[in-house]
Amino acid sequence: MLLVPDIQYNDICIPHDAPSQMTADCLWSIYCVIKKIIAAHNPDDSSCRRIIEYLYAIGVNGEFTDEHCSTLLVRGITNPKWKRAFPAFSYLIALEQYGFQIHHVVTESGECAPKKIKIKDVLQFQISYIETDAPNVILGLKLFADACLPIKGDPFYSADIRICFDNVAKHYAPPIEEIFSVLPPEQKDAALVLHKKLTELGCTYNLERDYMLRYMHPKSRGKTFATIYLQNQFWFPESDNDQALSFKLNLRHISAYTAYLEQCTESVQTSVVRTAPCYGCEKQCGGIRFTYQGTDYVKCPSHSFRFTDISQQSLAAYLHLLELEHQSLIK
């Protein structure tokens, strides 16, 4: 689900080295347009994200065709920092429902009928915004897309223009109450408990794909310390289909404190031992090795360790496990 932050025009705070009024107008315009696209779809409609992704790709790879910055020319992927393919051509045409005009389409085959055009056949096209409800949309699109590209997260998909404001963090970290507002009360409380502990340990968080908070520890050398998921993760074996919230705690030093597992709830112990084993992938990291109840385990760091139980007893165990991992890191 794409959650659009509630931003007012007067909230916009532009860096001092930018032309404030024009930049504010541009950012406000693209915010309103993306918000309009999201509002036109139900929360489970995956086509919404694909349409916005096309818009994002256009902003990153497009070049202005005139001094008024009202039209972008797109010749495929021209920005080497853009690592994704363009979505299907139908998602580009769908942008016309929201005020955009796609024109001067050049295809390798000469095909002109939109329904028959395939994206791999498109050599170039131009895009403009022809509605009068939002001025400077195309310039705003370019400014916002370029600002989002270096950020490891997806602020573009939720129209979070706050990443362009003055004095913002380099990573994507919207207010935590805003992020957890999508959860039911019990799950929200559990997420806040874990978040509080992680921040006490000095972790910073980054929101990725609008449902995943990745936490980095100052001593983890760029490796993920923990992740909070806000959507049901179907690959979590113990996941309850009615529960959106789940956690992944990267307990890389668990071998130093396996004795504590005996004090944890059965669900915590089960989650640890059921975590996917290391199959010797191309990373050749050797896996996470530990011995528990007489059995030797080698677990995959990418999957270790997943938890879905949000009972008070299990939450207390997560907090202590994080503390033990923290102590191992700072030795």
DSSP reduced 3-state for 144: helix
Instruction: Determine the pLDDT at residue 285.
Output: 73
**CB 298, CB 277: distance < 8 Å:** yes
DSSP reduced 3-state for 224: strand
- Can you state the percent helix, strand and coil of the chain, rounding each to 5? 40, 15, 45
* Pair of tokens at residue 181: 């507002």
Instruction: Determine the pLDDT at residue 91.
Output: 94
Instruction: Determine the pLDDT at residue 15.
Output: 65
Instruction: Determine the pLDDT at residue 31.
Output: 96
Q: Average pLDDT by consecutive 10-residue portion of the chain (331 residues)?
A: 81 69 90 95 87 96 93 94 90 96 88 74 93 90 93 87 75 87 93 97 88 92 92 56 85 95 95 86 76 92 89 96 96 84
Residue identified by tokens 């007067």 is: 10
* Pair of tokens at residue 325: 């991992």
298, containing H or E segment: strand 295-299
Instruction: Determine the pLDDT at residue 169.
Output: 63
**What are the sequence ranges of the domains in the chain?**
9-164, 176-330
pTM: 0.74
